[in-house]
């Protein structure tokens, strides 16, 4: 479920992109506290939390040069503070349970191995942040129940995801907690629906649970109806999310954060639409291809007459040949 809260890079200023990269590298450094391999869980979604909390509590640290194993020859700028470390801890929690869920659903070995590697780190984070750890554990358990009974109510899974992410956005209880929870709640619902919309074809093929496949109102509406339905829900959710976002005094990284909230979160959706359009185009081309010529009753009659004429000609030739063999003089 990671990868939906991202940048729209073409619309971003260079200074804002560098600021994002510095916080991203700071979250990566925070993950390395949890041991080798934990940085593989790094994602843009939790970087967004680090940006929001750093901006809200105005705890920016001057970026410093750094190198990493993935880019050993590049000198990047890294900005680390307690919020990048908090985002790294929440990444560990989410990735651990996501790996367990993948193992439970599909019995994949790699997610199981990743969960084993993250177990100690998860235990340390749960000790430091018991409320958040309990929220993620409860979310996974309740979502499994919804999937097992194949509940068609799309708001159940979306609401559970929103409640879980709402708790992760709140690191400490203060006057900003209600607004942060609201921001996380609507963003979580948006992410859940985006994930369902992107996986709908794969889930249909594999017979997996997807609430969009259980919506009776979408059964006869086709691709356009499906798209209108999803866009209506997604726009509504991001509208509520944006309202909560605008109530926070986020001056630091303001342009960068607005790029994500108003544009970046839609990038995956646009890619999904392009992919579905290409698939629909291929199907349309296949339908337009000229079908092979089929026999009609008229064609069948003409073929039968030709066969009869050929048979009559063969019979006439055979009769003439037989007569010639009986009377050689006539042949001369």
pLDDT digits (tens, 9 = 90+) for 200-259: 888 888 888 889 888 877 767 777 888 888 899 999 999 999 999 999 999 899 999 999
Question: For the chain, where are the E strands, in sequence order?
Answer: 64-66, 76-78
Query: Do 302 and 218 share a structural domain?
Result: no
Dihedral of the CA atoms 229, 48, 142, 205 (nearest 10)?
A: 50
Would you say residue 312 lies in a domain? yes
Alpha-carbon gap, residue 36 to 223, rounded angstroms? 45
The answer to whether 164 and 135 have CB atoms below 8 angstroms apart is yes
Residue 2 belongs to a domain = no
Question: CA angle 222-224-229, nearest 5°?
Answer: 95
What 3-state class would DSSP assign to 103? helix
Q: What is the pTM of this model?
A: 0.80
One domain, residues 210 and 247: yes
- In a shared domain, residues 28 and 175: yes
Domain for residue 46, yes or no? yes
Residue 247 and residue 315 share a domain:
no
| Tokens 């390395």 -> residue | 32
CATH of the domain at 227: 1.10.600.10
- Of 93-107, 263-277, 307-321, least confident by mean pLDDT is 307-321
Please tell me the distance from the alpha carbon of residue 67 to that of residue 78, in angstroms, as a whole number: 9
Q: pLDDT band for 332, please (50, 70, 90 cuts).
A: very low
- Tokens 């037989």, located at residue: 322
Residues 268 and 319 placed together within one structural domain of the fold? no
**Structural domain for 251, as ranges:** 9-287
My answer on whether 186 and 310 are in the same domain is: no
Residue 1 lies in a domain: no
In a domain? residue 3: no
> Which of the 8 DSSP states describes residue 77?
E
Quick one: 205 and 306 in the same domain?
A: no
CA 35, CA 184: separation in Å to the nearest integer?
28
Residue 54 has pLDDT above 50, yes or no: yes
Q: Are 168 and 132 a contacting pair, CB within 8 Å? A: yes
Pull the structure tokens for residue 305. 């007459």
- Looking at the structure, do residues 72 and 109 belong to the same domain, yes or no? yes
Residue 199 lies in a domain: yes
Q: How far is CA 322 from CA 27, 312, 315, in A?
A: 101, 15, 11
Q: d(Cα 249, Cα 53) in Å, to the nearest integer?
A: 11
What is the residue whose two structure tokens read 């992109």? 17
Most confident of 26-30, 124-128, 320-324: 124-128
**293 found inside a domain:** no
Q: Which of 69-78, 229-238, 312-321, 323-332 has the lowest mean pLDDT?
A: 323-332
Would the pLDDT of 1 be above 80?
A: no
Task: Please indicate, yes or no, whether residues 303 and 205 belong to a single structural domain of this protein.
Answer: no
Q: Are residues 73 and 209 both part of a single domain?
A: yes
Please, are residues 132 and 90 in contact by the beta-carbon 8 Å criterion?
A: yes
Q: What gap in Å lies between CA 181 and CA 98, rounded to an integer?
A: 22
Are 155 and 240 found together in one domain? yes
Domain assignment present for 210: yes
Contacts of 202 (CB under 8 A, 6+ apart): 208
Q: How high is the pLDDT of residue 284?
A: 60
Number of domains in the chain: 2
On whether both 115 and 262 belong to a single domain, the answer is yes
Element (H, E) at 250: none
């Amino acid at each position: 479920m990671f990868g939906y809260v991202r940048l729209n890079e073409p619309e971003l200023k260079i200074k804002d992109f560098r600021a994002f990269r510095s916080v991203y590298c700071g979250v990566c450094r925070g993950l390395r506290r949890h041991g080798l391999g934990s940085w593989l869980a790094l994602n843009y979604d939790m970087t967004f939390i680090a940006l929001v909390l750093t901006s809200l509590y105005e705890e920016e640290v001057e970026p410093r040069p750094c190198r990493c194993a993935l880019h050993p020859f590049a000198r990047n700028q890294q900005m680390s503070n307690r919020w990048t470390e908090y985002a790294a801890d929440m990444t560990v929690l989410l990735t651990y349970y996501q790996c367990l869920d993948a193992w439970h659903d599909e019995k994949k070995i790699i997610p199981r191995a990743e969960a084993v590697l993250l177990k100690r780190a998860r235990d340390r984070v749960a000790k430091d942040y018991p409320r958040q750890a309990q929220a993620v554990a409860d979310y996974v358990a309740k979502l499994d129940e919804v999937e097992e009974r194949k509940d068609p109510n799309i708001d159940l899974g979306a609401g559970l995801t929103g409640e879980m992410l709402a708790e992760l956005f709140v690191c400490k209880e203060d006057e900003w907690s209600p607004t942060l929870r609201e921001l996380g709640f609507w963003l979580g619902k948006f992410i859940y629906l985006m994930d369902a919309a992107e996986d709908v074809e794969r889930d249909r093929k594999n017979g997996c649970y997807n609430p969009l496949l259980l919506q009776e109102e979408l059964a006869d509406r086709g691709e356009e109806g499906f798209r209108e339905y999803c866009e209506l829900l997604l726009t509504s959710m991001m509208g509520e999310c944006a309202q909560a976002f605008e109530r926070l005094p986020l001056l630091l990284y303001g342009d960068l954060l607005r790029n994500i909230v108003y544009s970046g979160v839609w990038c995956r959706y646009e890619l999904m639409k392009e992919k579905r359009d290409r698939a629909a185009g291929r199907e349309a081309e296949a339908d337009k291809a000229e079908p092979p010529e089929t026999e009609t009753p008229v064609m069948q009659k003409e073929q039968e007459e030709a066969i009869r004429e050929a048979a009559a000609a063969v019979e006439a030739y055979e009769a003439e040949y037989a007569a010639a063999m009986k009377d050689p003089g006539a042949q001369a």
